[in-house]
Each structure stands twice: as structure tokens, then as C-alpha cells.
């Protein structure tokens, strides 16, 4: 079985394409994952869908066939031509898939290098598949190591500090445009995680924040979490708010635009709207004194961010490279340990059998059984010590599978599924 990741991100798709590929609800994700796993060659699957990327993370029997099958299903879901999607897709297989996964978890593949939300989003996607039993062993191991890698990158670099999210980047642009933010109102639409981050950055930048959401109760609960005052307005007042407040940032999970041309009035002051939702919350609108920024329009701040973080990114990539290699060494060691265990188990079974036969035939006395057994076990332990040590070293070699298979065949050993399952990811246990 091999790892396979199909990736669509800001690197290979524009926002219009990402909108069509987005999975805005758990129902969409669940339905799509079920369809993927109906294919016999796709054994496990995780779906990550954010404002900047869609990642299909799988364990498959045949990578090339599986990749085409996945993209075919994505084509049907999104309405985008198969050939177009296949040409755009970044397809990562086995070692490359794991390296890409670790890079994504460590926020090195993000629009904003070092942004702090991606690892949480990846954990949520992982927990969703675990809860639905869409992944059981191979992917949990990879995800477990990806989270370890992300933690190592955070500890070794400063990539997780400063203005490192799409929300903070939008606020940074708004502050740059406005200049003196004292007394300037900023409207936030939505009461989810991205809105929470947006409000935090707006308050720290000196804006007076107004929050509105279809769920007024949820909006009020969110507003009450801040020490500074956040005004909550009814969603029915959205049109008035849009035409009264100069700065607006929207980040809802709506599957269609909530702000359309018909609710936009001409104003005698400049307005700056930031749409950090995918699919977009703002339709194509034309209005004097109105500037609309989408996620992709924040690229210049992102580019500046990347140049400042270039040296840190080098360190981070070296960690990703190192831990990708370590991960495969660890996987190989999991294959070897059951073999070593069975070698000892088989030796002890032979000792027990031969001692009982010797007692029945009168070769040894019953009262000497324990001492003879201890002696035989000492011999087995010493005899198997060197082969066990060699097998552990071999686990790091590319030929490991062939050698382990040969040892199993020579000694008549079977693979221990229970032993392998013992090494599932820690996050599996958290969700049982």
C-alpha cells in the first residue's frame, strides 16, 4: 500500500477554481469520502478543505489508477473538466506524499508561510475521518508524524509568530490603507474560527469592531470573549452596515455570495472590503469608492512575509526532510518488531514442547523442569540476540521488505496484525 496526495492550492489554482473544489459542509465531505472508498484500490482517505487548498490524502494500492479515480470524482463534484483538473493537480506519491503532508502541516506550503491555523484544520480533517472510520492505520501513522513535525518546526523557528494568517494579513492591509485606525469602525461578518482571529487582530490594530452573523446568539458569545467591546448587530441590518462602515472583513461558510450588487449603495466615503472566504462571500461588484480584496489579492503582503521568513523556512524544510526520512525508518521498524517477537515466541514454544516430551520419556525429572527451562531460554536469548540486532539495523535499508519476508519464510513466521495496530497514532486513541 502506498501514500498518495492530490493537492489543489493557491499554487496551482485560482480562487474561482478553488471555490468549485471547496467542501463547505461536513455532509459534502462525508459523501465524497464515501465515494472515494467505494473504489477497492483506495483503502483510507482524509479530506482537507480550507480557503486556500483542497488536499485528498489517501493510502492506496495503485497510485496512478487511484489518482485518476480521485480526480474523476473531483471533476464530477466540481463540474470542472477532468483534463483541466488532472493538468492542474499536484500529485504526490509515497515518499513525496509524506514530505508534502509534513510541509502542509508545518505551514510551509501555505499562502502565508508559518500561518498557525493549518495544523488545527488538518487535525480536524483527520479526526473527522477517524470518527467515520475512513482511515485506520496507515494514514493515522503519517498524520501522527506530521503533527510531530509541525511541533518541531514551531519549536525550532519563529515561523509561528507575528502576522501569519490570512485574517491577520487582511487586517494588516486594512491598517496600512487607513493609517490612523482610532475610532474607525470595521465590520466582521460570520462567527466562526476565522472571524474570531479577524476580530482579535482588528482590536489589536485599534479598530472599533462591529460583528454580525446569521446566528446572533453565537455572535454575542464570541463578542463576550474579548476584554474590549465588540458591538453585535442583527444580520437583518447587513445592508445598512455595509453602506455605513468603511472597513469590512467577511469569512462565512456560505456556499454562495451573501453580498451582491443589489444591496450595495453608492457612498461619499472610501470603503475597503476583504473577502477571506472560499467560496467567496462577495459577488462581482462595481461601485465607486469601493475596493474589494479576495484572498489572492493579498499576495503582495504574503510575498513580503515570505522574504522576511526565508531563512527560517530553510531551517523548517531541513526539519521536514529529516523527519520524512525518520518516518519511513520508523515504519520499517514496525515491520521488523513483530518478526523479532515471533522468533522469540517460536523459540519458547519449542522449548516448552521439547521439555514436556523429555519429561514424558523420562529423560529429565519433573522437579528439574523450571531450571532446564530457564537454561534453554538463556540459550535462545543469546542465540537470537545478534540476528535481532541485525534485523533492527536492516529496517533502515531499502531492501528491508525483501529481507523481512525471507526471514518470515525461513522461520515459518506470520505477520502480527495486533502488534502493528499497537503503533497507531496517539490521535486515534483521543477519538475513541
Asked whether the beta carbons of 68 and 86 are under 8 A apart, the reply is yes
C-beta separation of 37 from 61 below 8 A: no
**Residues 198, 170 contacting (CB under 8 angstroms):** yes
- 3-class secondary structure per residue, the chain: CEEEEEEEECCCCCHHHHHHHCCCCHHHHHHHHHHHHCCCCEEEEEEEECCCEEEEEEEECCHHHHHHHHHHHHHHHHCCCHHHHHHHCEEEECHHHHHHHHHHHCCCCCCCCCCCCHHHHHHHHHHHHHHCCCCCCHHHHHHHHHHHHHHHHHHHCCCCCCCCCHHHHHHHHHHHHHCCCCCCEEEEECCCHHHHHHHHHHHHCCCEEEEEECCHHHHHHHHCCCCCCEEEEEHHHHHHHHCCCCEEEECCCCCCCCECHHHCCCCCCCEEEEECCCCCCECCCCCCCEEEEEHHHHHHHHHHHHHHCHHHHHHHHHHHHHHHHHHHHHHHHHHHHHHHHHHHHHHHHHHHHHHHHHHHCCCCCHHHHHHHHHHHHHHHHHHHHHHHHHHHHHCCCCCHHHHHHHHHHHHCCCCCHHHHHCCCCHHHHHCC
Q: Which of 51, 135, 149, 425 is catalytic?
A: 51
Closest of 258, 280, 195 to residue 15, by C-alpha: 280
Q: Is 51 designated active site?
A: yes
- Give the residue numbers marked as catalytic: 51
Amino acid at each position: 500500500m502506498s501514500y498518495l496526495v492530490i493537492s489543489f492550492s493557491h499554487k496551482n489554482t485560482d480562487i474561482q477554481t478553488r471555490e468549485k473544489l471547496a467542501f463547505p459542509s461536513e455532509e459534502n465531505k462525508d459523501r465524497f469520502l464515501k465515494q472515494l472508498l467505494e473504489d477497492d484500490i483506495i483503502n483510507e482517505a482524509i479530506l482537507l478543505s480550507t480557503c486556500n487548498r483542497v488536499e485528498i490524502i489517501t493510502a492506496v494500492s495503485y497510485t496512478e489508477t487511484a489518482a485518476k479515480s480521485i480526480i474523476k470524482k473531483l471533476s464530477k463534484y466540481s463540474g470542472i473538466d477532468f483534463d483541466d483538473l488532472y493538468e492542474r493537480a499536484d500529485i504526490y506519491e509515497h515518499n513525496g506524499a509524506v514530505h508534502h503532508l509534513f510541509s502542509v502541516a508545518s505551514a510551509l506550503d501555505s499562502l502565508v508561510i508559518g500561518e498557525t491555523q493549518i495544523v488545527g484544520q488538518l487535525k480536524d480533517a483527520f479526526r473527522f475521518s477517524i470518527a467515520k472510520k475512513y482511515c485506520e492505520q496507515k494514514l493515522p501513522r503519517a498524520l501522527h508524524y506530521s503533527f510531530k513535525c509541525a511541533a518541531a518546526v514551531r519549536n525550532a523557528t519563529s515561523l509561528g509568530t507575528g502576522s501569519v494568517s490570512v485574517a491577520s494579513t487582511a487586517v494588516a492591509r486594512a491598517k496600512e490603507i487607513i493609517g490612523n485606525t482610532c475610532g474607525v469602525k470595521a465590520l466582521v461578518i460570520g462567527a466562526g474560527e476565522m472571524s474570531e482571529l479577524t476580530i482579535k487582530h482588528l482590536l489589536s490594530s485599534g479598530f472599533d469592531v462591529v460583528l454580525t452573523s446569521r446566528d446572533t446568539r453565537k455572535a454575542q458569545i464570541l463578542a463576550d470573549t474579548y476584554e474590549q467591546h465588540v458591538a453585535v448587530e442583527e444580520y437583518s441590518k447587513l445592508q445598512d452596515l455595509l453602506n455605513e462602515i468603511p472597513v469590512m472583513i467577511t469569512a462565512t461558510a456560505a456556499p454562495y455570495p451573501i453580498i451582491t450588487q443589489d444591496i450595495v449603495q453608492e457612498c461619499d466615503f472610501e470603503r475597503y472590503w476583504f473577502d477571506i472566504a472560499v467560496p467567496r462571500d462577495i459577488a462581482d461588484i462595481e461601485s465607486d469608492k469601493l475596493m474589494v480584496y479576495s484572498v489572492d489579492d493579498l499576495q503582495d503582503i504574503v510575498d513580503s512575509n515570505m522574504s522576511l521568513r526565508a531563512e527560517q523556512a530553510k531551517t523548517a524544510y531541513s526539519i521536514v526532510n529529516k523527519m520524512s526520512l525518520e518516518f519511513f525508518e520508523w515504519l520499517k521498524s514496525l515491520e521488523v518488531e513483530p518478526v523479532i517477537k515471533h522468533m522469540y515466541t517460536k523459540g519458547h514454544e519449542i522449548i516448552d514442547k521439547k521439555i514436556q516430551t523429555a519429561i514424558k520419556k523420562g529423560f529429565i525429572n519433573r522437579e528439574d523442569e523450571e531450571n532446564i527451562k530457564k537454561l534453554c531460554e538463556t540459550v535462545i536469548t543469546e542465540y537470537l540476540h545478534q540476528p535481532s540486532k541485525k534485523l533492527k539495523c536492516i529496517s533502515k535499508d531499502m531492501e528491508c521488505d525483501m529481507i523481512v519476508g525471507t526471514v518470515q519464510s525461513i522461520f515459518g513466521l506470520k505477520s502480527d496484525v495486533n502488534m502493528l495496530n499497537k503503533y497507531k497514532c496517539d490521535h486515534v486513541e483521543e477519538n475513541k
